[in-house]
Amino acid sequence: MSAPALADEAAEALADGTTVAELRADKRVRRRRATLPYVLLAPGIIWLVVFFIVPMWSIVSTSVETGDMDTGFVLSWRWANFGDVWSQWHQQIIRSLEYSLMCTVFCLILALPLAYFIAFKAGRWKNLLMALVVAPFFTSYLIRTLAWKTILADDGWVVHAMNTLHITPLLSGMGWTYSDNSVLQTPFSVVCGMVYNFLPFTVLPIYTAMEKIDPRLHEAGQDLYASAWATFRKVTFPLALPGIVGGTLLTFIPAVGDYTNAVMLGGPKTKVIGTVIEQQMIGTGGNIPYGAALSVLLMVGTLVITLAYIKRAGTEEIV
């Protein structure tokens, strides 16, 4: 603040009875207030540097190194690594994106009515039902996924029922399974596992958004000639949209890198990019720069899709 301005302020303040001392104290408080945001931000910034910027730099620089396991890798800025990995594994990259897209769509189809029901119709059972939605988290991810191997086993009742209802031939007709009486080791079983594992991530943000909607708005909708469905489309959905965008992103982004489901419930034909990266980085592949290049590629791909999605959904405030 310039000196004359301060003088003006002082004159003004003195006019309504404030003393100069009070004015100085006031200034000190204001200065402290100006630095306070940075103090509060510091832990976050340090966190970001240590756990985001540094690893980010590390992975990007690794992706342009050359060498081998025995002699070690040196930073040679070989951008052609990206061309190499794309031509070798683009199938797996596209497959990963396909699976996670399907997973997200099915999660959304399940989560919308579920969240709607819990938020508006469950009454006093609300909290219990929400606890049930997250209950699977109390067991290990691996065990939960393994359980689906039993659920979808060839001689299990699920597959029997699907056979009786002629669903299995339908699935194999669509190319989601490979035979008429088995569903394991197929894209179908992998996506089943993914939907199961990621559903809570979709439900929670949607539920939170819907919970905040005043139920009286539904009554207003109905009063204004909107059927239950029209009220959902014109009132509930737009108001829950931030939650829907958040939920689908929370599902889609981790699903792209997930390979547990593909490994445990899938087979050779369902290999996803996560598996490839794992093999290159720590497994039998042995080419760490290739693994890093794939990671960067996947990250950029996910980011582009996410940004395009958010832009279309029109809720910029969540980025």
Partner 1 sequence: MSKNTETPAAGGAVAGDLKLVNVTKRFGDFAAVKDLTLTIPQGSFFALLGASGCGKTTTLRMVSGLEEPTAGRVLLGDHDVTRLRPYKRPVNTVFQNYALFPHLTIAENIAFGLKRRGVKDVKKPVQDMLDLIELSHIGARKPNQLSGGQQQRVALGRALINRPQVLLLDEPLGALDLKLRRQMQIELKRIQTEVGLTFVHVTHDQEEAMTMADTIAVMNLGRIEQLGSPTDLYENPRTTFVANFLGQSNLWPGKASGTVGEHLRVRLEDGTGVLIPSARNNASGDEVIVGVRPEKMSIHASADEVPDGRNMLTGGVVTDTSFVGVSTQYVVKVAVCDELGVFVQNDGARIFRPGSDVVVSWDPSQGFGLDGKQDIDAGAEADLEAGS
Residues of this chain that bind partner 1 (CB under 8 A): 214, 216-217, 219-227, 230, 234-235, 238-239
In the complex, least distance from residue 226 CB atom to partner 1, rounded to whole angstroms: 5
**Distance separating alpha carbons of residues 65 and 222, to the nearest angstrom:** 63
Q: CB nearer to partner 1: give 217 or 308.
A: 217
**Distance separating alpha carbons of residues 154 and 149, to the nearest angstrom:** 9
Q: CB nearer to partner 1: give 52 or 125.
A: 125
In the complex, least distance from residue 126 CB atom to partner 1, rounded to whole angstroms: 20
Q: CB nearer to partner 1: give 206 or 277.
A: 206
Q: CB nearer to partner 1: give 236 or 275.
A: 236
Q: CB nearer to partner 1: give 208 or 222.
A: 222
CA atoms within 13 A on the CB side of 82: 13
**Distance separating alpha carbons of residues 158 and 163, to the nearest angstrom:** 9
- Closest to 267 measured CA to CA, from 167, 198, 195, 190: 190
3-class state of residue 213 by DSSP:
coil
In the complex, least distance from residue 107 CB atom to partner 1, rounded to whole angstroms: 24
In the complex, least distance from residue 202 CB atom to partner 1, rounded to whole angstroms: 21
In the complex, least distance from residue 205 CB atom to partner 1, rounded to whole angstroms: 17
CA atoms within 13 A on the CB side of 144: 17
Residues 168, 183 contacting (CB under 8 angstroms): yes
Q: Which residue has the tokens 């004359």?
A: 4
